[in-house]
Structure 1
Amino acid sequence: MKLDARWLQIVFLASFLLLGALARDFAITPAQVALCFGAALATQAAWQWGLALPQRRQWGGYLSALVSAFGICILVRAENLWAHPLLAAVAMSSKYLLRAGSGAVRSHVFNPANLAAFAAWAWLPGTWLSPGQWGAQTLAALWFIALGLVVTRRAQRWDVSLVFLASWAVLLAGRLLWLGYAWDPGAAMWLQQVGNGAVLLFAFFMISDPMTTPQRRDARLAYAVAVAAGAFGWQYLGFRPHGLIVALFVASLAVPLINRRWPQPRFAWAPAGPRPARPSRQLSRT
């Protein structure tokens, strides 16, 4: 029996949180990390036990809380101790409160970590996002891509990641050409914009979330292009920060309508055997 793909996400995200905390001095404290994880797990447990969900007694029912907590800790910074646990509680509660669709296509609307990041930037005082913390080291980018591909392939959403990255790369290259940059320093600027850790984290762990992307494949690919275009317009034409986070937040509102127009049973996280039987057609309550 193969591991649930979220275990790979957890190992991957943990390595980058530790790398940041130990090697790059991210502005986050151990207390903030502990409170974030505690709130995410406690909130997930409260909802699962309160609703008597079958996963409440199993580790698998809490893996998404760990993944979301890692995402929040990696992206969000705060000048207090209450912001991270509050965002974690809101993010996990959104899975149960903000849902759309009916029957086999019913699911939560927002990726929890994306919702938390958007809330930290747009609504919560004393918090901000730190999206460029890794720099553009080639080795880090290669690790992001390699491990990200493993995770998204296991989740059958690798196509969304690659289409988004290709669209984002083309848009950024077109901008540099339009501005008249020469190869040097244009190529270096393009590599930094495309290959930084925040973009790859977004591509492999937010927009590729199988629970909050369209279930129909061609709709997913169009969705990835639309998010890239929206983020580009917000950030480089509107000159506003955090285009990726904002674009995904807004685009998520359209996913229930897309799934309603082209209904398919939604993806379910579950351990898969050697020959998985189309997990996108399995059902789940969480």
Structure 2
Amino acid sequence: MSIFSKRGSEAVAAATAEKDGKESALVAFPSGTTLKVRVKSAEDSAEYYGYSIFKKVNTFVPKEPAQRNAKGFITGNPTVWDRAAEYYYGLAKQAREAGDEATAKEYSDAAYLYKGKPRYLMGFGSLETGEDIVVDLSAKQAKTVIAAIQKYAKKLDKMVAKSPETGEWQTFQVKSLRFRADKGGDSGYYVLNGTRNSGETYGPDEVDYMIGVAGDACYLVPCTGQSEYWAAAGAIDEKWRKLTVGMRTGSENKTMTEAV
């Protein structure tokens, strides 16, 4: 399910609005920026058309945006900026027809400044704050980010956490442990399923660790590509690492859970 309930200019307005006295959830992504995020859904995105002039006018959305068709062409209610772009494109066409390519390029460049350009809002979970954020991307940036999300689409159902030992980010898949009393003699066995619902096995190139849950206990199991992982009930604490969960509180009443 997507975190967006609105699209286009409505999504922009909702993302930039202050809520409950907090800052906007919208996060800029200028060149050179690094964000550590969790992808909540492959569909958490919304398109809008913004207007701006580099280093002169910040990106904005008109109060009454132009009407556009599915391909982005204006079909009605053009803004003043759209009319300016159309005017300069008209001059560029006249110059080109007259054989003056240099002047045509100058007018085309001027038209491009005023033209509304597609931008994309993409929702993520911030690994630094634990809160939901919305990142504002240009079409070129969005293309790169979407390609990366699609590449790792099979990993979107995994948990991501930082190892308290190495400080490295690792992926985890959580599964319930099944108790088998008919195996392992008197004590029985605990079994962790290492496959998806489709029957496909999780591989070590996809998941670093499996987490087996039995009641209030959680066990860390290295993912080795097996369809099932077994541990005798009487020796499970020795075979698999048992996790305890502690709550760490940061500033501004933000909390996050860390397995230690």
Scaled by the length of structure 2, the TM-score of the pair is 0.21
Larger relative contact order (CA 8 Å, sep ≥ 6): 1
Q: Which has the larger radius of gyration?
A: 2
* Structure with the largest fraction of helix: 1
